Amino acid sequence: MSEQDNSMTNSALNVLNRTRIVMVHTSHSGNIGSAARAMKTMGLHHLVLVEPKQFPSEEATALSSGATDILERAVVTDTLEEAVADCDFVIGASARSRNLPWPLVNPREMATKVLALPEDAKVALVVGRERSGLTNEELARCHVHVNIPANPDYSSLNVASAVQVLCYELRMSAIASQEQEKPEWGVEWDQPLAKGKQLEGLFDHWEKVLVDIEFLDPNNPRHLMTKLRRFVLRALPDEVEANILRGMLSHIDKKLRRN
Ligand SMILES: C[S@@+](CC[C@H](N)C(=O)[O-])C[C@H]1O[C@@H](n2cnc3c(N)ncnc32)[C@H](O)[C@@H]1O
């Protein structure tokens, strides 16, 4: 968190500090630099790059226009799963609607949701490839999708411009939250939210059990796991709730082995 930025209270600033921007398979390194610049102007600092085509690069440095500290601290991962493993809330930015409806918000609603999370929640804002965006599988890893309601005839922003809009809305909400009472939802949460890694373990286990009890046909899965993901992510389970589900699956496993 920049120490020069004293325009907001510490807790409002905190949301910018615990929100990371995740760029998936970015092909043009200039876009990475422009995104770093966009982030820094809005007070965000954590950039994660999932398999960028080229990084570090001179073009990224040039287009970051001085936001080189963000590039220097950027984390590179092989998978999206790794990039969000320790996150409590994952938001996927998508320029178009997909076949399977998912909770969808605009950037302002997205920022309101993020501000309503527990004060230590780690958040990821995920943006996709320049040509093809995020895959359905990547979007299914997200709690919500965010769409910037652009011109319907020309709705796909440059990826760094999308990062700018999303970071701006988050900053605006953080500023507004100083003046407003905090939303009630989630603030008094008694348990930490289940993180990405725990949820992925749950989904893998669940899928295995469903195959074992022949509820899920691996040759004809018919989006069952995607729909279960959507159901669970929409509920925003905490660690204990996710453990209860996992415990139930372990008991089913045990019973099956006994019979
Ligand atoms: C150039 S766009 C990809 C466009 C791609 N043809 C598609 O249909 O998804 C690159 C990324 O910027 C973000 N983006 C661009 N326009 C957006 C919009 N209107 N709403 C939300 N995200 C957007 C998304 O994360 C997208 O994956």
- 164 CB near ligand 1 (under 6 Å): no
User: Is 249 a domain residue?
Assistant: yes
If asked whether residues 200 and 174 sit together in one domain, one would say no
Distance CA 97, CA 250 (A): 36
- 24 CB near ligand 1 (under 6 Å): no
If asked whether residues 71 and 164 sit together in one domain, one would say yes
E-only strand ranges, the chain: 19-24, 46-50, 75-77, 89-93, 104-105, 123-127, 144-146
DSSP 238: B
Summarize pLDDT for 115-130 with one digit per residue, the tens: 999 989 999 999 999 9
DSSP 86: T
- The tally of CA atoms less than 13 A away on the side-chain side of residue 123 is 27
Question: What pLDDT is recorded for position 98?
Answer: 73
Residue 126 phi, psi (nearest 5): -105, 125
User: Is 131 a domain residue?
Assistant: yes
Check pLDDT > 90 for residue 13. Answer: no
Summarize pLDDT for 83-116 with one digit per residue, the tens: 999 999 999 999 987 777 899 999 999 999 999 9
Decide: helix, strand or coil at residue 20.
strand
The lowest-confidence range among 59-73, 90-104, 110-124, 179-193 is 179-193
Tell me, what CATH number does 242's domain have? 1.10.8.590
User: Is 189 a domain residue?
Assistant: no
- 155 CB near ligand 1 (under 6 Å): yes
| 159 CA → ligand 1 middle, Å | 6
User: Is 188 a domain residue?
Assistant: no
Q: Which residue has the tokens 């006994």?
A: 258
Question: What pLDDT is recorded for position 206?
Answer: 96
Question: What pLDDT is recorded for position 177?
Answer: 85
If asked whether residues 74 and 111 sit together in one domain, one would say yes
Question: What pLDDT is recorded for position 96?
Answer: 82
Number of folded domains in the chain?
Answer: 2
If asked whether residues 128 and 248 sit together in one domain, one would say no
Question: What pLDDT is recorded for position 181?
Answer: 52
| 162 CA → ligand 1 middle, Å | 7
State which of 145, 179, 213 marks the end of a domain: 179
If asked whether residues 157 and 249 sit together in one domain, one would say no
pTM (2 d.p.): 0.87
If asked whether residues 163 and 209 sit together in one domain, one would say no
Check pLDDT > 70 for residue 10. Answer: no
Instruction: Kindly report the protein residue whose alpha carbon is nearest to atom 9 of ligand 1.
Output: 133
Question: What pLDDT is recorded for position 3?
Answer: 44
Decide: helix, strand or coil at residue 239.
helix
If asked whether residues 89 and 118 sit together in one domain, one would say yes
- Ligand 1 atom closest to the CA of 155, numbered from 1: 19
Question: What pLDDT is recorded for position 66?
Answer: 94
If you count DSSP H runs as helices and E runs as strands, how many of each does the chain have, helices first?
11, 7
* Cβ count near 43 (within 10 Å): 22
Position 257 confidence tier, pLDDT thresholds 50, 70, 90: confident
Position 9 confidence tier, pLDDT thresholds 50, 70, 90: low
Residue 64 Cα distances to 30, 33, 181, 187, angstroms: 8, 4, 36, 35
Question: What pLDDT is recorded for position 183?
Answer: 52
Domain range for 122 is 10-179
If asked whether residues 36 and 129 sit together in one domain, one would say yes
If asked whether residues 166 and 229 sit together in one domain, one would say no
If asked whether residues 172 and 204 sit together in one domain, one would say no
User: Is 191 a domain residue?
Assistant: no
Check pLDDT > 60 for residue 184. Answer: no
Position 63 confidence tier, pLDDT thresholds 50, 70, 90: very high
- 17 CB near ligand 1 (under 6 Å): no
- Pocket perturbation via mutation, ligand 1, pick of 157, 164, 166, 168 by most ligand atoms within 8 A of CB: 157
If asked whether residues 162 and 53 sit together in one domain, one would say yes
DSSP-assigned states of every residue in 139-202: HTT-SEEE-----TTS----HHHHHHHHHHHHHHHHHHHHHSPPPSTTTT-SSPBPPHHHHHHH
Is residue 240 packed enough to be buried (19+ CB in 10 Å), middle (13-18) or exposed (0-12)? exposed
If asked whether residues 216 and 108 sit together in one domain, one would say no
